[in-house]
Amino acid sequence: MMRDMAVRSLHHSGTQRFGLGGNLLFSANDDDESTSGEPRLVAESVKVAVETCATRLANLSEIPHVSRGISFGIEVEPSRPDTTWTLVLHRGPLPLLDIELSNAPGFHPPEGWRDNLAKSRCAHVVRSTIGSGDNGVGLLKRTALFPYSKESSRPHAVAASQQLRKLCREAWQKQTGNSDTLYELSSLNWRRKNFATKFDRILLDHAGSENLNAIFKQMDTRLESWLAARS
């Protein structure tokens, strides 16, 4: 759930140094240069800051069934909950990259930011409510079946999940005529369940149970489990 802002800073303990140009970059987690226990401060251009953020996240060592990530600040030092953003990689058969601000009342984006962000394709689902229908139902199913980093993140499972995402997107496009059509999930649980049930019918009609069974087997689950998931 990506926000409509450039990643300009990260935060963690470590050695302190300064780079050239741009805003402050407070970097985090598993940094080879972070060894002295002192705050590490880097001033970089926005482009370099984003690359640094992505590199550090990619270099986090994998711990089975554990979600890991980095924290950072945007424009200001991440010294409080309302200035500290967290970027977390949830592993498992349906990998999820999640970015959030821990103190939601401190977040005051401009009007229409959710729709604009979803349309920009910088995020698939915003605030767990709005996005394309295939990504919305995928998030619901993932939450029920593979919370956080539960289950296998082996290459064959992740590859199968990519096939599943493709089929879900095709099914959504077939239903709406436009894969970019936005859908807002209701806050009511029964409405979410109804939406997931209807989408499952569309997906089964598009992909077929035999094909889906083979995909879910690679993901170490079953079609029946997917259909029953109504989180």
- Among the candidates 75, 108, 141, a domain finishes at 108
Instruction: Mark whether 53 and 144 lie in a shared domain.
Output: no
Instruction: Mark whether 145 and 217 lie in a shared domain.
Output: yes
Measured at the alpha carbon of residue 154, what is the angle toward residues 153 and 160, in degrees to the nearest 5?
Answer: 85
Residue 180 has what DSSP assignment? Answer: T
Beta strands in the chain (DSSP E): 23-25, 42-44, 68-72, 85-90, 96-101, 125-126, 130-132, 182-184
Whether 22 has a pLDDT exceeding 50, the answer reads no
Instruction: Mark whether 99 and 134 lie in a shared domain.
Output: no
- Among the candidates 108, 138, 165, a domain finishes at 108
Residue 92 near residue 67 (C-beta atoms within 8 A): no
Confidence at 196, pLDDT banded by 50, 70, 90: very high
Instruction: Mark whether 135 and 103 lie in a shared domain.
Output: no
CA distance linking residue 226 with residue 95, whole number of Å: 16
Instruction: Mark whether 27 and 67 lie in a shared domain.
Output: yes
Instruction: Mark whether 135 and 91 lie in a shared domain.
Output: no
- Phi/psi for 144 (5° steps) reads -80, -40
CA distance linking residue 68 with residue 53, whole number of Å: 13
Report which residue type is found at 34: S
Stated as kind and residue range, the H or E segment containing 102 is none
CA distance linking residue 168 with residue 151, whole number of Å: 21
Residue 216 near residue 224 (C-beta atoms within 8 A): no
Whether residue 115 lies inside any domain: the answer is no
Tens of pLDDT, residues 111-165:
888 888 888 878 888 888 888 899 999 999 999 999 989 988 899 999 999 999 9
The pLDDT of residue 226 is 95
The pLDDT of residue 123 is 84
